[in-house]
Chain A
Amino acid sequence: MTADPAPVADPLDQPVIAAAAAAEQTMRADLMRLVGQEAAVVAAAPAGAGKSHFVATTVGQLRAAGLRVALAAPTNDQVQSLVERVKQLHPDLPVAFVHAHGRELPPDIAALPGVTQPAAADAQRRQDPLVIATIDKLADAFLRNDLGGFDVLVIDEAYQADAARYYTAAAVAPTHLLVGDTGQLDPFSPLDDATYWRGGPEDPLQTAVGVLLRNHPGTPVHQIPITWRLEPRAVPVARCFYPGHEFSAAVRPGVRELRLTRPGPGSQPLAPIDAALDRAARHGWAHVTLPGAPVLTADPATAVFIRELVHRLLARSAQVTCENRPHLTSLEASQIAVGVSHNDQKDLLRAFLDSYGLSAVRVDTANRLQGLTFEVVVAWHPLAGATLTDAFHLDPGRLCVLLTRHRQACIVVGRDTDRTLLEGVPPATPGFLGWDPDPILDGWDAHEGVFRLLEPHVIQA
């Protein structure tokens, strides 16, 4: 039997938590002050800041004040988890989930007391006091069924929502609360010339927060100074993606632990994998580099290595402990995720992991992993084996998502030559009048910072 770690007096950093609570209180006070006016409050959060909890708490407070609330997010997964979170915090609060055809709530969430799934017209006729929907559905219901007349519109993941969608949904309520993670992926379009409008006030692909602040620069913007998901060892890397945003971990150092059994005899062929796992368990990070080579996007060698890594992690009887579970518990396959950049990488890994009976391990692209939390994450580095850098692979949002989903440890898998792509002078990038951010140079900078911080954790495979 493995001994549990010695208990830490207080696993949480109370001053950090108090500062976050004060910031959240200020935001709610600002919002309540603005109710009834055409005005908004923006809450910018780092990864794992407890946005959903903040949103659900705020919604409860708005309802307690008798206000009619529309709560929206860009994707179906996000709104479904918002329904769940609201019901967790406010079991008695009636929730009307308005959805598109075929997008009903999963049965376990739909069965929660007080949860209904009305048609948009019924929700409006009954004046349901709290309606939750995707931004698209809310906009569609507003235009077709006059679903509106809310007091407050709350948008979660507002940095993922684009200005075009926000345009159509914005009129459902005069007062808005926009909550989002500034480090995640920006709104995206598959068009070749998606930057056509960039810099102009009409740009439909600027974020919802971007268009709001452009037109109303006096809108109060608050930063949430805490991350609940990430532990102190993960915070320096995460900060690469949030320049100008100070935040700290809620949990104290040493509280979380990933424990592995020792490699047994005959495990010499797995030495690099074991070395990576041991480093990740001890330091929270490992950066495995395969021999440098230009490879296909869905490189079989990298996929095989990741499969062996995940398999070995579970084979070494991984156990975890944290502030919520002071006793060591087995790491389940469902608590592990593999993050990738491309769908063909995902498909290849899915087939490889399934062949090892690891179907419970989540494999997904960064886009789909946004907002999710796992104990251990294996990140297929976006630049792994690339011969050139480009805007897609340098996107700081993509790397940010991949490196900020974990609570215990993150193992980055790439190739020896990845870092050399960033040597020398950064590429010339297009400039746009009226638009200051430069995602390529920002990405270049963030990637360099991450490589530098991961340098002590490099394991050559």
Chain B
Amino acid sequence: MNTALEAYFAARIYSGGRALRRTTFRHVHLADPPLAIAMWRLGGERFRAAALAWGPLDGPFQLAVPGEPRNRDLYFAALEPFAVDLCARIRRVAASRVARQRGSVTEHIPADALQIVVPNKTTVNALGLLGRYLAYLSDRGGVAPHPALIEAGKHLRFYARNARVPGQALLVPLDRLVADHWATLLSPFEQANLAALDAQIEPGPGRHPFAASAAAEAAARIGPEPTEDIDRVTGSLLSEFNAHRGTSTDPTVTEPLAGPLREHYRDLIEPVWQLMNRVVARELQLTAAPSVYRRFESDRAAFGRHVDWVVNQGGHYRTTDTPRQAAITLRRLEDSLARYEADQAVEDPACMIGHLLDGDAVRGTVASLTETKVVVNVRRVPRAVIALDSPDPVTLPAGKELWWTATASGEPWEVQSLQHTSTGSRVFLILTARPTPARLPAVGDVITLSTLCTGHSHPWPMPPADPPWTHRPDTPLTEPEPIDSGDSEQPAAPVDAAAAEDPGRYT
């Protein structure tokens, strides 16, 4: 992120009184409507959802509140409707397939994919943890959990892991969507609050965005992490619920008792649901960038592979990557990031500004276009040379490869030389391929060339399947215990701090 551009944005927003768009296009696919999920956890209980709301964003949400999420029976009973509904939606969407031709291979990928939106990146992580918990449940104690819970766990785990792919649109954290498309006065830490971001964009009449976002941040209650005041209310309602139910997990007893907790969470989620609705509606108004369709096609293909593996083949995912999987994933993610950044800048002039300021790109007027011959592998071949007049002090070194934005997936131009002029710089570039009309700008055209290429990256060979000795431990790792082991144990009796003996450890 270029600091000069950020400073410019900050000054303009400060004087103009509202946030500014960073982009002229929307660079992420948005379904209309997507499935939305909002979630709350208990303080300190990372793997359990104390409340989970879901549903198409243009309608009312359904709410799952187990009452006591640390009780396995109550927890599973409350999550079951969500799990069943999620699995059904995913299966339904994945059922309709279209053919995709890639070279000589024909694939059948889903015609659509279920898109999930959540208020923030923290919810993505929370759903990943919930999925991890549910996906590996055992039938410990002879009671098998509902199969939909396990399948939903696998789906959530897939969605959360896929959310790492730059530019993906299967699981969209809205705070990230807004922060990527809008410049605001908020720090990266403050941008994690969707209400504060929204207030910067629409601060309300007569309000400065700073005041509006400060007020929104103070008033907003967005999960999944409870603040202390929410946790206090939850704790009190939870104690009451547990006191009245005793040890009962009978729905006829617990359902009515969970009413106050349900209302408590409904009140918290209502405004978040409206906020998400407003944010998605606003972003939907912006035209999608041309590459959005291609990226969502990749998402659909990944979604289809996942459903084939989990639903059709009953497959499991490893809990952790092998060194080989991690190495491959890292490389794929880095390739995706490079491609996503290139797509954004090449398609969207507003996204190119930072690259121009960083010296990764040059913009200017084509002053001349000449043909020449150069020797390549002992043959003289034709090449085109352009002189580009830029008003900026260009510092690109000779030999640097640049792609014209109009042919960014094609052949690069190479910087031949540079002249500093009284009005800026003149850059001489040679096309590294045979000149054809489609590859050449016209004299007088104002063009942009950058280091960003939207073509396919060089294929890289897969690492060997067998890890080398350096990546195998001397002693094999021990098998981990089941993820739900300990669930049936009685919790330790509470300790009265006043009566506890001082162990003297810190004295």
Which A residues lie at the B interface, using CB under 8 A?
38, 40, 139-140, 143-144, 163-164, 166-168, 170-171, 174, 176, 189-191, 193, 196-197, 200-205, 208, 211-212, 214-218, 296-298, 343-344, 347, 350-351, 354-355
B contact residues around A211 at 8 Å (CB): 323, 470-471
Stretch from B203-211, B226-234, B272-280, B459-467 contacting the other chain: B459-467
Cβ contact within 8 Å between B460 and A140: yes
- Give complex CA distance A176, B470 in Å: 9
Q: Which of A168, A176, A202, A204 contacts B320 (CB 8 A)?
A: A202
Q: A197-B326, A202-B325, A298-B4 are in contact. Are A212 and B358 (CB under 8 A)?
A: no
Min C-beta distance of B343 to chain A, whole Å: 15
Q: A215-B473, A351-B393 are in contact. Are A164 and B331 (CB under 8 A)?
A: yes
Q: Which of A144, A166, A170, A202 contacts B326 (CB 8 A)?
A: A202
| Residue B333 CB within 8 A of the other chain | yes
Task: Please name the residue on chain B nearest to A168 by beta carbon.
Answer: B463
Cβ contact within 8 Å between B325 and A212: no
Cβ contact within 8 Å between A40 and B327: no
Cβ contact within 8 Å between A212 and B470: yes
Task: Please name the residue on chain B nearest to A39 by beta carbon.
Answer: B469
Q: Which of B3, B164, B333, B469 contacts A170 (CB 8 A)?
A: B469
A contact residues around B334 at 8 Å (CB): 189-191
Interface mask (B471-492 → A, CB under 8 Å = 1, otherwise 0): 1111001000000000000000
Q: Which of B3, B326, B358 contacts A204 (CB 8 A)?
A: B326
- Give complex CA distance A301, B323 in Å: 47
Interchain residue pairs with CB less than 8 A apart (15)? A40-B470, A140-B461, A163-B327, A164-B331, A168-B463, A191-B330, A197-B321, A200-B326, A201-B323, A202-B326, A204-B329, A208-B470, A218-B474, A297-B2, A343-B359
| Residue B395 CB within 8 A of the other chain | yes
- Give complex CA distance A350, B396 in Å: 10
| Residue B372 CB within 8 A of the other chain | no
Min C-beta distance of B9 to chain A, whole Å: 13
A contact residues around B323 at 8 Å (CB): 163-164, 167, 201-202, 204, 211
Which B residues lie at the A interface, using CB under 8 A?
2-4, 7, 164, 166, 320-327, 329-331, 333-334, 337, 357-360, 393, 395, 420, 460-464, 467-474, 477
Cβ contact within 8 Å between B325 and A171: no
Cβ contact within 8 Å between A174 and B469: yes
Cβ contact within 8 Å between A167 and B395: no
Cβ contact within 8 Å between A170 and B468: yes
A contact residues around B322 at 8 Å (CB): 202
Q: A143-B461, A344-B358 are in contact. Are A203 and B3 (CB under 8 A)?
A: no
A contact residues around B320 at 8 Å (CB): 200, 202
Cβ contact within 8 Å between B326 and A350: no
Cβ contact within 8 Å between A347 and B4: no
- Give complex CA distance A144, B337 in Å: 26
Min C-beta distance of A206 to chain B, whole Å: 10
Q: A143-B461, A215-B473, A215-B474 are in contact. Are A167 and B468 (CB under 8 A)?
A: yes
A contact residues around B474 at 8 Å (CB): 215-218
- Give complex CA distance A202, B468 in Å: 13
Min C-beta distance of B474 to chain A, whole Å: 6
- Give complex CA distance A204, B333 in Å: 12
Min C-beta distance of A327 to chain B, whole Å: 35
Min C-beta distance of A438 to chain B, whole Å: 19
B contact residues around A171 at 8 Å (CB): 464, 468
Min C-beta distance of B453 to chain A, whole Å: 15
Task: Please name the residue on chain B nearest to A166 by beta carbon.
Answer: B470
- Give complex CA distance A166, B2 in Å: 33
Min C-beta distance of A448 to chain B, whole Å: 24
Cβ contact within 8 Å between B359 and A167: no
Task: Please name the residue on chain A nearest to B396 by beta carbon.
Answer: A347
- Give complex CA distance A174, B474 in Å: 15
- Give complex CA distance A166, B324 in Å: 11
Min C-beta distance of B340 to chain A, whole Å: 11
Cβ contact within 8 Å between B464 and A168: yes
Cβ contact within 8 Å between B473 and A201: yes
Cβ contact within 8 Å between B461 and A344: no
Q: Which of B4, B329, B395, B471 contacts A163 (CB 8 A)?
A: B471
B contact residues around A215 at 8 Å (CB): 470-474
A contact residues around B164 at 8 Å (CB): 191, 193, 196
B contact residues around A343 at 8 Å (CB): 358-360
Task: Please name the residue on chain A nearest to B2 by beta carbon.
Answer: A344
- Give complex CA distance A140, B461 in Å: 7
- Give complex CA distance A189, B393 in Å: 30
Cβ contact within 8 Å between B330 and A170: no
- Give complex CA distance A204, B467 in Å: 13
- Give complex CA distance A201, B333 in Å: 19
- Give complex CA distance A189, B166 in Å: 13
A contact residues around B473 at 8 Å (CB): 201, 214-216
Cβ contact within 8 Å between B395 and A347: yes
- Give complex CA distance A191, B329 in Å: 11
Task: Please name the residue on chain B nearest to A297 by beta carbon.
Answer: B3
- Give complex CA distance A355, B395 in Å: 11
Cβ contact within 8 Å between B359 and A296: no
- Give complex CA distance A10, B385 in Å: 59
Cβ contact within 8 Å between B327 and A167: yes
B contact residues around A190 at 8 Å (CB): 334, 337
Task: Please name the residue on chain B nearest to A349 by beta carbon.
Answer: B395
- Give complex CA distance A449, B477 in Å: 40
A contact residues around B463 at 8 Å (CB): 139, 143, 164, 167-168
Min C-beta distance of B142 to chain A, whole Å: 33
B contact residues around A297 at 8 Å (CB): 2-4
- Give complex CA distance A174, B337 in Å: 35
Task: Please name the residue on chain A nearest to B6 by beta carbon.
Answer: A296
- Give complex CA distance A297, B358 in Å: 11
- Give complex CA distance A354, B395 in Å: 10
Known: A189-B330, A191-B333, A355-B420. 8 other contacts (CB 8 A): A139-B463, A167-B468, A168-B464, A191-B337, A197-B321, A200-B321, A202-B325, A217-B474
Min C-beta distance of A37 to chain B, whole Å: 10
Min C-beta distance of B160 to chain A, whole Å: 11
- Give complex CA distance A140, B458 in Å: 12
- Give complex CA distance A214, B472 in Å: 9
Cβ contact within 8 Å between A170 and B4: no
Q: Which of A167, A197, A203 contacts B467 (CB 8 A)?
A: A167
B contact residues around A140 at 8 Å (CB): 460-461
Min C-beta distance of A385 to chain B, whole Å: 10
Min C-beta distance of B349 to chain A, whole Å: 20
- Give complex CA distance A176, B408 in Å: 42
Q: A215-B473, A344-B2, A344-B358 are in contact. Are A350 and B327 (CB under 8 A)?
A: no
Cβ contact within 8 Å between B3 and A296: yes
B contact residues around A189 at 8 Å (CB): 330, 334
Cβ contact within 8 Å between A144 and B461: yes
Task: Please name the residue on chain B nearest to A141 by beta carbon.
Answer: B461
- Give complex CA distance A203, B358 in Å: 31
A contact residues around B324 at 8 Å (CB): 167
- Give complex CA distance A204, B324 in Å: 8
Cβ contact within 8 Å between B461 and A170: no
Task: Please name the residue on chain A nearest to B466 by beta carbon.
Answer: A171
- Give complex CA distance A191, B472 in Å: 26
Cβ contact within 8 Å between B393 and A170: no
Min C-beta distance of B414 to chain A, whole Å: 11
Task: Please name the residue on chain A nearest to B425 by beta carbon.
Answer: A351
- Give complex CA distance A143, B463 in Å: 8
B contact residues around A200 at 8 Å (CB): 320-321, 326
Cβ contact within 8 Å between B330 and A204: yes
Q: Which of B462, B463, B474 has the most CB of A within 10 A?
A: B463
Task: Please name the residue on chain B nearest to A208 by beta carbon.
Answer: B470
